[in-house]
Chain A
Amino acid sequence: MHGFIAIYLREMLILKRRFKRQLAGMAVSPLLYLVTFGYAMGGLIQFGDVPYLHFLIPGLVAMASMTQSFAIASDINIARFYWNIFEEFQAAPISRLAYAAGETLAGMTRAFIGVAVILLLALLFGVRLSYGPLFWLAVFLNSFTFAALAVAMAMLVKSHADQALLTNFIITPMAFLGGTFFPIDKLPDWCQAILYCLPLTHASHAIRAVALGYPAATADYLALLAAGLVFFWLALYAVGRARD
């Protein structure tokens, strides 16, 4: 437990030092999406009786909880490849579980701050949705999934450049295709089948359903939980492999 607290606390101290910059960074892209897609173009689009801005915000919540939690991979990499701090953890008598859990929770914390920023922006745009416990459960599972994936990837890559490449190939496509900006149920079946393999699609569905007051599908939560557990197991394995 002490190892887990040390790892998590260290990340929080660094987050505290960079908090203002970090917060501004978390607000920029959602604000641009809200202005461009929601405000400027959104008036032209309506899904059923849901205005586009209302449709978009839960998608942005799903996207932000993914990107912010996955961003912990960059911090881990900087600590590993530039500052060599990872050696300090390897030489300490702590378990792989303590390390992986501490970093995963740090990623999740970033995700929750990112989501809070979006909900505040939504309020500024005059949008009020339902944010009940199932909303937060979906955010929790989504951020757990992508923080765990981030820890695994950060351990498996050999350089910081590889990490940027992974973000480009995994996170950016998922951000656009995972039901963030458009409903995927209008797409052909084969295309839907592919997109339902993405964890973010399940997160967008669950978060949007609850936020707009529709019943949430248990399957989405189970899919996220399963992905999260697989990625966390992968993270544990990868931490052990990170020694040369």
Chain B
Amino acid sequence: MLDVDLSLVNWSRAQFALTAMYHWIFVPLTLGLSFLCAMFESIFVRTGNEKWKAITRFWMTLFGINFAIGVATGIILEFQFGTNWSNYSWMVGDIFGAPLAVEGIFAFFLEATFFAVMFFGWNRVSKSFHLFSTWMVAIGSNLSALWILVANAWMQNPVGMAFNPETARFEMENFWAVLFSPVAMSKFTHTTSSGFLLGSLFVLTISCWYLLKGRHVEMAKKSIVVASVFGLLSSIFVAFTGDEAAFEVAQKQPMKLAAFEGLYKGETNAGLVAMGMINGDKKPGDSQQPFLFELKAPGLLSLLANRKTGSFVPGIDDLVYGNKEHNVMGVTEKMSKGKLAVADLTAFKQARKAKDVVAAQAALTRFNTNKEYLGYGYLNSPEEAVPPVSTAFYSFHIMVILGSIFPVLFLAFLFLTIKGKITEQRWLLPLGVPAFFLGLIAQQMGWVVAEVGRQPWAIQGLMPVKVATTNIAVGHVQATFFMFLAVFTLLLIAEIKIMLKQISIGPEGM
């Protein structure tokens, strides 16, 4: 048995998840609201209408509050790398160093210059320079997100690198392959556009609340029009980029896709589950039905996964135990190769220690034959390669269902506001108020889908999460988990209080 304490692994996982999910409350709102502020200000500069200036300053203040509370919460993730995930942190340091350094430099210059002009520069710099600064903050914030998403994408699809057994590190061979990998690109476009969507929902929610209260009616209506147009376009873009992201998952992480869909037995002309309830007792390889009930759209999963309706999509059983007919190598076979890779790595280490150059070279040559299966060598059973299916399935479907509602909502609000009938729609306005919170749920579900769906891997196929952890006392991780929970809760309460106060003051207080 492994001498890894699974409760330590799970507490480390939980702490990372808590921090990332908390951080992810603020980031997408920053990404979306920054562009909306730039749009409101562009209308002000173009029309010269002071009402648009008041609108811009109001949303900009809310943007500032969200940014200030959220800033640096991501740094805690880096603390955790060094303490809880030292093996991982050491092994990927060369890959992550460049993207994270670029992000740090980018964020610093952006925040020190354009951010200051955006908030301090009203009436002190020219209108056009102020507008330019606001756009730069929006573009810069989104580009800053690129680097962290590139790092995350590399973990899901490790490209442009080679493992160096001398240093025990993955070393970057091709920066451009890492930056422009299709997984990184689809992750970046899907994540940022979902942020635009969330920003639009935020504006919609607060504007609907104002309309229901009969306050700041003109500002609310103007804001709804801009947010609905931006939100509608973003929702359509989110759907396209989501489709591309799912295609990449199907190609690079087929187990993850099978878990999303609760697909155990591979199918040709595979159907996409529109709605269903997972059978929680189902295990890989058994004869139980995977669903208690399901509603499928025939052929759509094949189309999503391979761009062909009649094509074969491997299920969990095919991926775990192999399927010769469809040329799918199972985890069982990969584990044999992985164990050889790890044994050769051990032999290399011992030969190097004994200064036996010939034996070290021989071990290295053997290691290179199976190195792409390295991570499988650490699994105890083939079934360990299956992520938690229920969590992946429900989070994916909740995200997709919510994502399908938003464009309809934006379209309804846009149409009725342009027609001048929005204030009469007492049935529609209350639907707009919870929209932002639904958007937040969709965001969090998206994160869960991406990260839970790739379990047990820290780096796809190369490093399971249990190998990534530091062997420290579980009590230490538990203590810091609750410490973070307390700090994050306090910060969230502070944000909500400040935000609500500012919303209740409205644009007159700007």
Pairing of A with B: no
Query: Which residues from chain B sit less than 8 Å from chain A, CB to CB?
Result: none
